[in-house]
Structure 1
Amino acid sequence: MARLERSQVQENLSLLGKHPISNKHIFTKLDVKGQNVSAIDILEEFPFLQDVDVANNQIESLAPLAKLPFLLSLNAENNQLETLLDFDPPQCTREKAWIDGGDQAIGSMVHIVNLSRNKISTMRDLTTHRYIQELVLDHNQITHISGISQLVFLKYLSLAHNKLTTTDGLTKNLPIEILNLSHNEIADTAQLSSLPRLLTVNLAHNKLRSLADLGKCRMLQLLDVSYNRIKNLREIDALTPLRDLSDLNLSKCPITRISFYRYRVLVRTQQLVKLDHLPASVKERIKAKVVHGGDMQARKAIFDSHMKGDEEFTNYLPPLEFDCEPASPSSPNKPPLTQESCKDYATREASKAIGMYVVGF
């Protein structure tokens, strides 16, 4: 192991750009990954770098990066770091405002941070790095989410392969759209209901038993809760109102062992396009409703019209208890029952399903 030398830096500079203030030509990118480096003190002499990649080394501290006020992207994956972003560039204050000829303190401008595969166990307060949009902390030893309440631009957060047990620390002001908390020990997801912008959530390989909190994420489009402890079919009802949910993964959960599992899930989530990595075809979604008796009244009416009471109608469908249509027959919004054939019913439901599919894309 060795310190990063000036010659190594000069050999690995790239991406010619312009200084954000003086407009002079500068090199903005440095890539020194996999060079067995233990210290990066020399980077203090290259303050104009914007994109730094020091992955796959033996670095224990990122403190010298405090001298890089224009840093936008940092990849320090697979090092020996124990502290989360242990550097704080000087903040812009009235006394240090660069526009008045001060020392050009503008605070941290970091947007993208990857510190996965390190030795981080605690998330320190990141208020001084308030412009972070993407934060990746996979494969660490983190036990609690903290320090990110002021990251009002954070859209992507990944804490996969850690030691989390709850989602506490995810505050309601966070604009997170993509959240990866897979491979943890999470049993409580109460905080997720306070994140209104969630689009994609990965909670695979955890200890979840309920989906109630996720049912409150109204914009959710993709949900992976595979390898959890979900076994009650009624948990799926929480996802029924999520109109934008198109991809659901329940693989290897106890619920998948229920007979007619796919039909039971799809009849509750007709908006799905994919279930457990397999397409949920229009035909399959229609069959799910038919299996649950969606056209039973029409069948009985047609049977009675032909048999004239000579024989009693018999329902041969499996005993699946679920009301596909609203239970109240007197509902003013429900059209009167007509003697539509199974073919007419399938055609009508196919039109609805195809409409959902097109809107989903």
Structure 2
Amino acid sequence: MAMTEEEEMHEKAMKIQAIARGRKERRGDRSKKAATSNKKTEELAAAKLQAMQRGKLGRQKVKDMQEQKLAAARIQSIHRGRGARREVEAKKSGGLVLELKDVRKGLSQLARNPFTLKHSFVNLELGNSSLKSVDVISNFPNLQVVNLSENSISDLSPLAKLPYLLKLDCSKNSLKECLDYDVPVCNEESLLADGESSIGSMLHEAKCSFNEISSIRDLSGHRFLHTLDLGNNQIEKIQGLQNLEMLTTLILSNNKIGMIEGLEGLPIVNLNLECNLLTSIDNLDKLPRLEKLYLNDNKIGALKGLSGCLNLREIDLGNNEIKVIRQVEFLTKIGKLAQLNLKDNECSKLEFYRLRVLSRLSGLAVLDSEDVSAEEKVKAVNLYGGEGSDLVNRKATWAKCFPDQEFVDFLPSFQEDEEDVVGCVGGGEEEKKSEEVNLNASGSFVSGVMNAAISNHVASSA
């Protein structure tokens, strides 16, 4: 059917519109592709710029760090140089004089003044600083803890201006006197002016070891002192401590002390007198609270002086001149004694040494730094065959097994060859101590030996 003119016109218009739409879509696609391409190009360019910027910043940062390291190294070198020069000067002059800048470096621990309530530093650390004088320390009256160890100090008088000082470490110096300073005490003249600060010494703990102290001055001014370390000095006599009513720990090791004296009535709990020249133990019964005693490395041969120290828990008598084991009988009344050291004495080399000591001191938990076992305690009770040993039960077992034969003891008791040192006869003291141990006479280590002995006797009778 032939198309009319109007229909042909309409069809042509449709084709023209389709062609126009296709061109438009192709132009849009080309535009999108171009835009996408441009965006990618811009992004790549931006990324390159950012990378270049980061690289510049990174290189600058590395350069700055290198410069900082070099500057720090120069500063440290300068500081070390100053420190080295100062050490050389200190050695030439015998030590340095304490300066305010040194004090400021060592200050720590803020606290409040009890009267003004103002904050102040109370700790001062000046150990190993090559000091010979500490006069400037008197400008810091609120100090409570001071460490002056490992210096060349010979005078502690500036400490008199530190009324609140509680702990002092002046070990490893050049001191000739012990705590040679006196803190002002309130009296009628100073009552109104500075009575609040004139309270006397509050010192609780003092370490004065490794100095050149040859004698102990009167320390009654330090009435609150409870710990005093005077080890490794040149002290020959114990004195000046009689009024220290709070002293609980006293260390006098590595000195030249030849006699224990000057401690009567003090509340000492821990006493260290090792490495001295002691030949006897005297006056320790006048220390009612004494619990730990160190007397090793002396020349002590008798223990009679310990018989009255009833609160002792630990005794070190190593490397002395104790030749007789029965000397420990002086310790039998010390019911709290748990640790005893007799190593490197002649008595420690004798036969059945540990058992002979334990038979007398059955309450020991540690002997010569070695724990005491239950088996050792049982053997110690059976050693002398006294009351509480397995002898009675062995006799009863024999009578039960061999009622027609007389008991023969194939495990004879140890015969003590040492003389009595405290008036005990035979094994009486051992028997008293052995009553405190609940033992079974048919213990495994005894029964094996006893059974073997019975078998041998039966074989010989047959």
TM-score category, normalised to shorter length: 0.7 to 0.9
Aligned CA distance change for structure 1 residues 316 and 37 (closer, same or farther; 3 Å): same
Counterpart of 1:24 in structure 2 is: 118
Q: Pick one of 209, 219, 222 that aligns with 1:129.
A: 222
Q: Pick one of 304, 307, 319 that aligns with 2:399.
A: 304
What is the alpha-carbon distance in structure 1 between the residues aligned to residue 175 and residue 190 of structure 2? 31
What 5-or-longer segments of structure 2 have no aligned partner? Answer: 1-94, 417-426, 447-462
What is the alpha-carbon distance in structure 2 between the residues aligned to residue 261 and residue 40 of structure 1? 55
**Structure 1 residue 178: Cα displacement:** 0.4
Q: Confirm whether residue 155 of structure 1 aligns to residue 248 of structure 2.
A: yes
Q: Pick one of 307, 328, 333 that aligns with 1:236.
A: 328
Question: Aligned-pair RMSD on alpha carbons?
Answer: 2.0
What is the alpha-carbon distance in structure 2 between the residues aligned to residue 326 and residue 15 of structure 1? 58
Larger Rg computed on CA atoms:
2
What is the alpha-carbon distance in structure 1 between the residues aligned to residue 130 and residue 393 of structure 2? 73
Kindly provide the CA deviation profile for residues 111-162 of structure 1, in whole angstroms up to 9, marking residues without a partner as x.
Answer: 0000000000010100111110000001000000000000000000000000
Alignment of 1:235-274 (within 5 A): 235-274=327-366
Instruction: Determine if contact 2:270/2:291 at 8 Å carries over to the other structure.
Output: yes
TM-score by length of 2: 0.69
Counterpart of 1:342 in structure 2 is: 442
Seq. identity, %: 36
TM-score by length of 1: 0.88
| Number of residue pairs aligned between Structure 1 and Structure 2 | 333
Aligned CA distance change for structure 1 residues 265 and 341 (closer, same or farther; 3 Å): closer
Q: Confirm whether residue 72 of structure 1 aligns to residue 166 of structure 2.
A: yes
Instruction: Determine if contact 1:96/1:103 at 8 Å carries over to the other structure.
Output: no
**Structure 1 residue 314: Cα displacement:** 1.9
Q: Pick one of 136, 147, 162 that aligns with 1:53.
A: 147
Counterpart of 1:164 in structure 2 is: 257
Q: Structure 1: which amino acid aligns with 2:431?
A: E
Aligned CA distance change for structure 1 residues 326 and 43 (closer, same or farther; 3 Å): closer
Alignment of 1:182-193 (within 5 A): 182-193=274-285
Identify the range of structure 1 (83-92 vs 306-315) with the bigger mean alpha-carbon deviation.
Answer: 306-315
What is the alpha-carbon distance in structure 1 between the residues aligned to residue 151 and residue 274 of structure 2? 26
What is the alpha-carbon distance in structure 1 between the residues aligned to residue 113 and residue 370 of structure 2? 50
Q: Structure 2: which amino acid aligns with 1:320?
A: Q
Counterpart of 1:314 in structure 2 is: 409
What 5-or-longer segments of structure 1 have no aligned partner? Answer: 328-333, 335-339, 347-361
What is the alpha-carbon distance in structure 2 between the residues aligned to residue 284 and residue 341 of structure 1? 14
Instruction: Determine if contact 1:97/1:104 at 8 Å carries over to the other structure.
Output: no
Instruction: Determine if contact 2:186/2:195 at 8 Å carries over to the other structure.
Output: no
Counterpart of 1:143 in structure 2 is: 236
Instruction: Determine if contact 1:97/1:106 at 8 Å carries over to the other structure.
Output: no
**Structure 1 residue 312: Cα displacement:** 3.6
Counterpart of 1:113 in structure 2 is: 206
Helix, strand or coil for the counterpart of 2:360?
Answer: coil
Higher helix share: 2
**Structure 1 residue 248: Cα displacement:** 0.4
Q: Pick one of 2, 6, 9 that aligns with 2:103.
A: 9
What is the alpha-carbon distance in structure 2 between the residues aligned to residue 253 and residue 101 of structure 1? 58
What is the alpha-carbon distance in structure 2 between the residues aligned to residue 341 and residue 206 of structure 1? 41
Instruction: Determine if contact 2:395/2:407 at 8 Å carries over to the other structure.
Output: no
